[in-house]
Amino acid sequence: MARFVHEVHMRWSDMDAYRHVNNTAYLAYLEQGRVAMFFDRFESFSSGTVIARHEISYLRPVVYHPTPLRLEMWVEDVRAASFEVHYEVFDGDAVAARAMTKCVTMDFDANRPRRLEPSEREALRGYADVDGR
């Protein structure tokens, strides 16, 4: 499968005093993409996944406009109880940011990480970046 693509709309309130989209707004954009990629499609992820880490590299400022930003997303580094989601955030044709989120599958009753289920591993395999961009 190629990268998962999702569009996110900016809000006027996402801009800060420096007249560009604030860096914290990107966390919401990434979350919207992850929800569309996993949680709307696979129930097991939505019932037991937490975020362990975010990394974002801001490559250029984005100023609000009505055209949505395009997120291209893929999965890397699948382990026993975790995986990484990688992102490129496009403003038009330009990459505005690159990011990574480390997700950990959890057993909330036991309050500890749980191993990925075979169906989850299969879903993650479908999001490997075969384009290699």
Report pLDDT for 119. Answer: 87
Segment 38-69, tens digit of pLDDT: 876 676 665 688 999 999 999 999 999 999 99
Helix, strand, coil distribution of the chain in percent, nearest 5? 25, 40, 35
Check residue 2 and give its pLDDT.
73
CATH 3.10.129.10 fits 4-125, yes or no: yes
pLDDT digits (tens, 9 = 90+) for 61-92: 999 999 999 999 999 999 999 999 999 999 99
Q: What is the mean pLDDT of residues 25-42?
A: 88
What's residue 133's pLDDT?
47
Contact criterion met (CB below 8 Å) for 85 and 101: yes
Q: Give the Å distances, CA to CA, from 44 to 29, 39, 40, 41.
A: 22, 8, 10, 9
